[in-house]
Structure 1
Amino acid sequence: MNSEVRKFIESFESKMSRSEREVKINEIESKFLDDVFGPEFSYNFNGLTAQLPFKDYKGGDRYIDFYYQSGEVKIIIEIDGYKYHVGGITAQQYDDHQERQNDLILSGGWLLVRFTANMIIKKSMVCRRQLMQAVGKSLILNQSNQVSTIADLWLKRKAEILSIAKHNGGIKVQQVAHRFSVHRNTALRWLRKMTEEGDLVPVKSNKKIREYKLPSLIA
């Protein structure tokens, strides 16, 4: 288990203990953090909340497995174990149902993503792809309501990229592509534009650009 995952779990369980709630992150949820969320966010768990309480339509107490909020991005993540399977279908059929459901949710603008335990164990790359699609969808939907011009959108996009680069000590093309759910060529074009504008500096290794860093972080 990644050390940052362990820290997140320990912090969560300590918080639950202080609030006298007997809630722990189970094995599948831990695997989600380690194999799905962690790799996509460079094991930076800022903005991710586990077991977020809310009231259902009847006024009852319910809990969201995970809730991620970063700037304009807001994603609800639910993880379903085998106990939720509909009778008479196989694990594979249930996974396929959930994958289709995720695609429908994303195409319709909803910000809820559901994964099965089996998907997380055997199809972590599918989970990672759909999670980042949800992030990109959320960003686009929220920005469309708040950004009035293309220039404003570019400034907001740059701010997000610079924040990631500052936190991680640099940023790669693939990270930008995943973060904004865009093609690699689009991500590369953005980073080159930011380089031209003096926001980033390309870092080369064996004559190839490996990543981009803030000018202040270049030795």
Structure 2
Amino acid sequence: MGFAEEHMKWLVFHKKRRSGERLDRLERGHGHGEKIFVERVWWPIFGHMDDLHPEYEVSDWRGRPYFVDFVWKRGEIKVAIEVKGYGPHVQQIDRTRYRQELNRETYLQIAGYQVVAVPYDDLESASDLTISLFKSLLAPSLLINTDELEHHYTRLERDIMRAVVRWNGMIRPVDLANGLRVHPRTIRKSLTRLCEKGKLRPVPASGSSRICRYEYVPSIMNNGLW
């Protein structure tokens, strides 16, 4: 399934769990810049939107509700992400708003969030730079050492993921069976486990529910696999 379908499912998932102002804010606040960030930065890095919360409500230092463009929560890790355009405060027209924004960012860091500002213009013209910066920022929180990988994936599972990457991210079970010289039934069992672990997605044939291929889910956590 491609980005457009996954993005829609992700939004529907969060909308169903909200009401009132929180729902209204999501419908109004998740606009062009936020969608571009998810599509051009987050999706290429992770291949999914798990643990990423749009228009996330927090309280500022005055106890007033405030909505962050995105919050990524994974265990004890909390990252607040704001997509920033060339707004009035940059021209010093609205100094009060600018001052409050800086205070909110400081308060978020006090509350345990790592705050990241993403320039909107870079999403349009230099998304590769933003991707590189985010990989460097998040990698220490995500990378798994080699010993841990041995417990997360079997030898066959790692061989399958390598094969799928070599086939440009999409492969048929029959090609894996022939290329790895493993019984098709064993291949299918491993493919099912990798889907459950979020490393592959089943791709049905056009106009059918029959699974004919599997798609690789990219992630910076896979650096230790290769």
2:189 aligned partner = none
AA of the residue aligned to 2:130: C
1:191 aligned partner = 225
Instruction: Give the one of 116, 130, 133 matched to 2:133.
Output: 130
2:40 aligned partner = 35
Alignment root-mean-square deviation, CA: 3.7
Instruction: Give the one of 63, 67, 72 matched to 1:63.
Output: 67
Larger Rg belongs to? 2
In the TM superposition, what is the alpha-carbon distance from 1:18 to its structure 2 partner? 6.2
Gaps of 5+ in 2: 93-108, 155-160, 162-193, 201-213
C-alpha separation in 1, matches of 2:79 and 2:152: 17
Instruction: Give the one of 23, 37, 46 matched to 2:50.
Output: 46
Does structure 1 retain, via aligned residues, the 8 Å contact 2:60–2:66? yes
Instruction: Give the one of 196, 199, 205 matched to 1:168.
Output: 199
SS of 1:167's equivalent in the other structure is coil
2:120 aligned partner = 117
- Higher RCO (C-alpha under 8 Å, 6+ residues apart): 2
In the TM superposition, what is the alpha-carbon distance from 1:84 to its structure 2 partner? 5.1
Q: 1:21 to 1:66 in 2, by over 3 A?
A: same
SS of 2:49's equivalent in the other structure is coil
In the TM superposition, what is the alpha-carbon distance from 1:29 to its structure 2 partner? 0.6
AA of the residue aligned to 2:199: N
Q: Cα deviation per residue 1:53-79 (whole Å; 9 max; x = unaligned)? A: 112112221122111123454322111
Does structure 2 retain, via aligned residues, the 8 Å contact 1:77–1:112? yes
1:4 aligned partner = 6
Tell me the matched-pair count: 150
AA of the residue aligned to 1:39: P
In the TM superposition, what is the alpha-carbon distance from 1:21 to its structure 2 partner? 3.7
Q: Determine what percentage of the aligned residue pairs are the same residue.
A: 19
AA of the residue aligned to 1:116: P
C-alpha separation in 2, matches of 1:47 and 1:29: 16
In the TM superposition, what is the alpha-carbon distance from 1:10 to its structure 2 partner? 2.8
What's the TM-score once normalised by structure 1's chain length?
0.54
AA of the residue aligned to 2:32: E
SS of 1:46's equivalent in the other structure is coil
For the pair 1:26 / 2:31, whether they are aligned, the reply is yes
Q: 1:64 to 1:116 in 2, by over 3 A?
A: same
Does structure 2 retain, via aligned residues, the 8 Å contact 1:51–1:64? yes
What's the TM-score once normalised by structure 2's chain length?
0.52
Does structure 2 retain, via aligned residues, the 8 Å contact 1:72–1:139? no
